[in-house]
Amino acid sequence: MLTLGYQSTSLTEYEVRHLATHLTQGKMGTALHNLLGSYAPERCNLWFGVKESFGDTIGFLADVQLAWTLAEDGFCPDGRSARAKPSHCRVATLL
């Protein structure tokens, strides 16, 4: 079970392994950044916990790499068109 904000959902192994790629390919960069930037009350990264529970810790790093690549391409979660240095900083804090 994954809870992001007010939504809870159960994910299949396929969804856990490929969600970030689908978000990236679907031009849903904000959703990817929100997914990677969600934390539990005990300050644990939720997406890392989900990936780890499926034995896909390396996949979490690949998801972070996708977000980094989006930032390099100029994506900014708040929609600004400036070169994405704030996005780089946000993604870097995930590591």
pTM, rounded to two decimals: 0.74
DSSP assignment string, 24-36: HHTT-HHHHHHHH
- Per-residue pLDDT in tens (0 to 9) along the chain, 95 residues: 555 544 556 888 999 999 999 999 998 888 898 899 888 888 788 899 999 989 999 999 999 999 888 877 776 665 555 454 555 555 555 65
The pLDDT tens digits for 44-57 are: 888 999 999 899 99
- The region, left, alpha or beta by phi > 0 then psi within -120 to 50, assigned to residue 74 is left
- Cα gap 21→15, rounded to integer Å: 10
Residues in the chain: 95
